[in-house]
A and B are shown apart, each in its own frame.
Chain A
Amino acid sequence: MKLQLDAEALYAELLVGVRNLLQPEAVLVGIWSGGAWLAERLHADLGLPGRPGVISSALHRDDFGSRGLAAASATQLPFEIEGRHIVLVDDVLYTGRTIRAVINELYDFGRPASVRLAVLVDRGGRELPIEAGFAAARIVLPPTQSLELARAEGGRLSFSLQERR
């Protein structure tokens, strides 16, 4: 199946969407790894001060018992979380389990004032009551397929669709 998702075009929409979601003093936190690339780029394009945060779901995943520890990736939040407005950024929103884990991880650092979510693609299939405040595209994919964001050396983003093993 030919994939019709142009990640670069969707990024332009995400930029507009995130600008609208951002409250004063809000910070961007990208979900490792695809979301972190997006947050880094959004941070620069929006001219935000400091550095964006990177957050990993690895330590709060609910599939640890069956899949073990996910590849090492450390959360880095170079700002106070307590009382902050946070915009989480991810590439693909699917079951919502990663977002649940990431929100738990966020709370290990403090109590944010609010948490919003912006994603490049919402592919449906939610298993938890979690929704994005902004999604640049909404599509429906069968559970047998996995949608992955890739970043080329020059920074160019693209999507690839694979059959799950």
Chain B
Amino acid sequence: MAARRNPQLNAHGELIHLLSVEGLPREVLTRILDTAGTFLSVSEREVKKVPLLRGKSVFNLFFENSTRTRTTFEIAAKRLSADVFNLDISRSSTAKGESLLDTIANLSAMHADMFVVRHSESGAPHLIAQHCAPHVHVVNAGDGRHAHPTQGLLDMYTIRHYKRDFTRLSVTVVGDIVHSRVARSDIHALVTLGVPDIRAVGPKTLVPGDLAAMGVRVCHDMTEGIRDADVVIMLRLQNERMSGAMLPSASEYFKTYGLTPEKLALARPDAIVMHPGPINRGVEIDSAVADGAQSVILPQVGFGIAVRMAVMSMIAGNSA
């Protein structure tokens, strides 16, 4: 039996889909970050558009709502001159009982070139990538608890922008790690890019114990977890988790794991604070930190568009 190839790469090791950061070699990640650097300036030009995806049809398939992520993908595709179609799938054919692969087959018949997929089920983008025509490319815009690779990549771009060298950094990820596809993508990327000290901080109910196997230090104490960190990545506390027995209350959580100026003072003086958004002020992050000098939350948004342009143009230019 032939060795199973990573479905994201073609026989030449070039990126054809982006499904997960996991399993991508360091060279591919670095290439994406380098390419994103090229696109960053496009958004500042007189003409904020380049013709790389001219004549290509990009379908945003959001089976789970996310206006912000969908919009950044839409902006990225439009700056590459693609035609973008937003399908409100959650309210249309799926609600009428159509299967995922039938939806894809139908859209393929409309000559789609790329699918950007957000789905509540882990593995849905992977399934689509396996069943679509060879010229069609798939980008995972977040699937279940599995992965959110473009967020992971834009976080890496942000870290590299401010800190340059991954190989001497301490990076702390704080929050609901067990449910977070962002945390998962971030951790895989940090490991691949050679970050020597990765820490996961949160209550026992929200931090999986098996992270140690990936070389991640698990801390349930915020003071310990944040001390001397170069980068602090805060995760959004998903309100829906509050209803279960996982957390006592938002104010209790803020007291223990919320990022305040006092807690941030334990990190390195030049530490940066990141957050994938949307932020919950007073739940996982204090306003003084979110709006403070060390916050790079808004620059992350701009980097996110450049990273998505890089991913879309790279995969569109490579064939299966």
Contacts and interface: CB of A to CB of B under 8 A. Distances in A.
A69 B35 CA distance: 9
B300 to A, nearest CB: 20
B317 A68 contact: yes
A7 B132 CA distance: 51
Judged by DSSP, the binding face of A is loop
Contact of B41 (A69, A75, A107): A75
B22 interface: no
Given A68-B317, A72-B31, A108 B47 contact: yes
A74 B46 contact: no
Interface string A50-71: 0000001011100011011100
Contacts of A107: 47
A158 interface: no
A18 to B, nearest CB: 26
A56 B42 CA distance: 12
Contacts, number: 47
Interface residues of A, number: 20
Interface in B22-55: 31, 34-35, 37-38, 40-42, 45-47, 49-52
A68 B50 contact: no
Contact of A67 (B35, B40, B51, B317): B317
B52 A59 contact: yes
Interface in A69-83: 69, 72-76, 82
A110 interface: yes
A66 to B, nearest CB: 9
Nearest to A74: B38
Judged by DSSP, the binding face of B is helix
B38 A68 contact: no
Contacts of B314: 68-69
Nearest to A76: B41
B318 interface: yes
B38 A108 contact: no
Given A75-B41, A108-B50, A109-B46, A68 B34 contact: no
A136 to B, nearest CB: 30
Given A69-B317, A110-B46, 19 more contacts: A59-B51, A59-B52, A60-B50, A64-B52, A68-B314, A69-B35, A69-B52, A72-B31, A72-B35, A72-B37, A73-B38, A74-B37, A74-B38, A74-B40, A74-B41, A75-B41, A76-B41, A108-B42, A108-B49
Interface of B: 14, 31, 34-35, 37-38, 40-42, 45-47, 49-52, 313-314, 317-318
Interface of A: 56, 58-60, 64-65, 67-69, 72-76, 82, 104, 107-110
Ranked 5 nearest A-B pairs via Cβ: A68-B317, A59-B50, A72-B34, A108-B47, A69-B317
20 contacts: A58-B38, A59-B42, A60-B50, A60-B51, A65-B317, A68-B317, A69-B52, A69-B313, A72-B34, A73-B38, A74-B37, A74-B40, A76-B41, A82-B46, A108-B42, A108-B47, A108-B49, A109-B45, A109-B47, A110-B46
